């Protein structure tokens, strides 16, 4: 199991290195604004997608807490 987890860690490290190699040609002075703007846009879109997918994840737990608090009174 330890070897499997370590292999997953190394796989994600390899993915990050590959992403760094792909981005390196655009990391020059005239393109820096566009590179960081595209990263910020991707992060914003990913955060919005994550929020949309998981916004109701705690709703059943919150409903149970309200029901439990009502029963105490």
Confidence class of residue 17 from pLDDT cuts 50, 70 and 90? very high
In whole numbers, what is the pLDDT of the chain averaged over residues? Answer: 88
Q: What angle do CA 17, 50, 31 make, to 5 degrees?
A: 45
Structural domain that includes position 38: 2-72
Rounded CA-CA distance 42/31 in Å is 17
Instruction: Determine the pLDDT at residue 64.
Output: 77
**pLDDT of 19-46, one tens digit each?**
999 988 888 888 889 889 999 999 999 9
Q: How many domains does the chain have?
A: 1
């Amino acid at each position: 199991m330890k070897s499997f987890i370590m292999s997953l860690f190394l796989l994600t490290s390899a993915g990050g290195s590959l992403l760094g190699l792909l981005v390196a040609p655009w990391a020059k002075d005239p393109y820096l604004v566009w590179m960081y703007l595209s990263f910020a846009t991707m992060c914003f879109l990913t955060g919005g997608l994550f929020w949309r997918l998981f916004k109701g994840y705690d709703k059943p737990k919150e409903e149970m807490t309200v029901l439990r608090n009502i029963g105490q009174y």
